[in-house]
Structure 1
Amino acid sequence: ATSLRIDPDALDDASPHLLPIGRPADDVTCHILDQDLRPVPVGRSGELFIGGVQVARGYIGRPEVTRERFIVPPSDPTRRLYRTGDLARWNADGTIQYEGRTDNQVKLRGYRVELEEVASRVEEHTWVRKAAAVVTDNPRTGSQVLVAAVELNERTAAVMDQGRTDAGHHQSKSSKLQVKAQLANPGLREPAEL
């Protein structure tokens, strides 16, 4: 198991976008590295890697994921570090500030969901040209929901234009979908309106 001590006192003034993690526990080393696995200066953002005796050897039966997540840093070939996928930075006082994820992974009802994987699966359907997925709050229930937005292929879009829509569909005024880390499509309705 990989562990890191979280300092609850550091959360008092936390903004929703930058969460203080605190300092590493005594037997844990934390490294904030750039894409070339070089340490970044204090105050600069990088990916958080965790080292120490508690770092596992890898994932059982998953060598490809092990190679991706457990790395040997060029600066010290005797160490193994775990790549967390978290963006963070060192503060001047030696604490770590969490800044988000390097991927589009989110937590939904306790499960980790990769938004790009959801979009990719939706795009496997023949009627979809492009898709994006987001987690948003349902204003009616207050719970989080996974929403997929799609750009239809021309043939399907023509059928939808003829008024053959089901209650679960909403056609946005904007026909183009911009896919990035977030949806940039103000024409999408809230889930409660769908």
Structure 2
Amino acid sequence: MSAENQNQPQEDLQQEQGAEEQQPQAAAEGEQQLEANLEALLAELEKARADVLYVRAEAENIRRRAAEDNEKTRKFAIERFARELLAVKDSLEMALLDQSGNVENLKLGVDLTQKQLIAAFEKFDLAEINPVGEKLDPNKHQAISVVPSEQDANTVVQVMQKGYELSGRVIRPAMVVVAAPK
């Protein structure tokens, strides 16, 4: 064997020993890397948890504010209508305070007050249902009586109490008398 061949096993042995020494060092570095990755992942997880809690809190605040706004809207929705009716009330009170005994002035005052009320109704899309001569519509009319008449059957002959619609929605049906079938 040559000297080179004899040195070869010795070099191989040294390389193996060096590799064995590097393995614990590499393992330690790998563990440190894993721990660093784990810490980074845990930090991201905590941040995600905090973000979820923040989003939940924001959603709850938005829901609560919307509920409060809805309550305020519902509570004060008729405020403008109420202000319009105050003028009508004032006119009625003034009429009641009149001690002059002049029936014509009282009638004129009541007439003007009614016009104020009608104007307030129109302003807020509150319309009368006065169906004399129309066919009975069970969505808008409530028949309380049937009478013999020359008109077609189920035609409104008389209105006992006017009905009202608010923006096209019936809030009180008209109470009517209808023609009986012939």
TM-score by length of 1: 0.21
Larger Rg: 2
Greater share of residues in helix = 2
Greater share of residues in strand = 1
